Structure 1
């Protein structure tokens, strides 16, 4: 029998949790979009025939998409949080007045130790999707939550 390396064994059993402003939104099955892209501009400088000058432009962060099977406790927490967000948006003059929200994604190994964490600045929900309901099928009811943010670096 072949023995897996510690790195491979840990990678196979990773778990993560997401919280927003201290509200634990629970564990999720998948997390996609945790990335950063460094945009730049290439400028042809007069008299420079050797290379194109590269100037930094902006940093862009993708939306984070979370997915999991629905559960009574964790799905209810997400719904309460979303209800609070909507209520907050209606009570202010603009979404910026709603106040900054901070989300944290924590990655755990099989033993429950934190391997890495990311703190997302100014987080807003952009989409929640519930399951497609089919009484004749045997699919798991899956929910997804998409979060937009202004960065984690």
Structure 2
């Protein structure tokens, strides 16, 4: 459940945890795309030809969530992506993904906010850009599509 700070100071954006199916935790450097959008439906009543268009809530849309992390040698994300590609036992092989924003105490059991992606599956997994120039670490990016985004 979301926790508002008594001092009203914002939380740091670098204190977060990503969990898959409530158990497996992987370290990521960046999470983007925690967005929710409702497409408006415009209409005008048949006898009401002179008034402005009215708008009602329409279809809920969620863009892919992008997770970036330094490559550690683990193949867990690639194996999940392979399940989607090859058609695993359940198709698509979905997971519940939670992103927890934590405070400076890093208490994962009392997050400041939690974003929950329901029925998420990897639509794209991008390998690193490798170059002999520079000293950055190798980064891979996972793009997840999902059916619902809830915030608590």
TM > 0.5: yes
Q: Does structure 1 residue 115 correspond to structure 2 residue 117? A: no
Count of residues in correspondence between the two structures: 140
Instruction: Give the match for residue 20 of structure 2.
Output: 20
Q: Is the helix fraction higher in 1 or 2?
A: 1
Show structure 1 runs of 5+ residues with no match.
none
**Residue correspondence of structure 1 range 106-145 to structure 2 within 5 A:** 106-113=100-107, 114-145=111-142
CA positional deviation for 1:33: 0.5
What are the superposed Cα offsets for residues 57-115 of structure 1, whole Å, 9 maximum, x if unpaired?
A: 20000100011223x3xx51xx224314524763558xx64454211111111111311
Instruction: Give the match for residue 66 of structure 1.
Output: 67
Instruction: Give the match for residue 3 of structure 2.
Output: none
| Contact in 1 for aligned 2:68/2:139 (Cα 8 Å) | yes
Kindly report the root-mean-square deviation, in angstroms, between the aligned alpha carbons of the 2 structures.
2.6
| Contact in 1 for aligned 2:40/2:57 (Cα 8 Å) | yes
Q: 1:122 to 1:42 in 2, by over 3 A?
A: same
Moved over 6 A (4+): none
SS at match of 1:122: strand
Q: Which has the higher contact order (CA 8 A, sep 6+)?
A: 2
CA positional deviation for 1:38: 0.6
Instruction: Give the match for residue 47 of structure 2.
Output: 47
Q: 1:91 to 1:32 in 2, by over 3 A?
A: closer
Q: 1:25 to 1:127 in 2, by over 3 A?
A: farther
What TM-score results when the alignment is normalised by the length of structure 1?
Answer: 0.75
Q: 1:14 to 1:136 in 2, by over 3 A?
A: closer
Q: 1:85 to 1:16 in 2, by over 3 A?
A: same
Q: 1:150 to 1:125 in 2, by over 3 A?
A: same
Show structure 2 runs of 5+ residues with no match.
1-6
SS at match of 1:47: coil
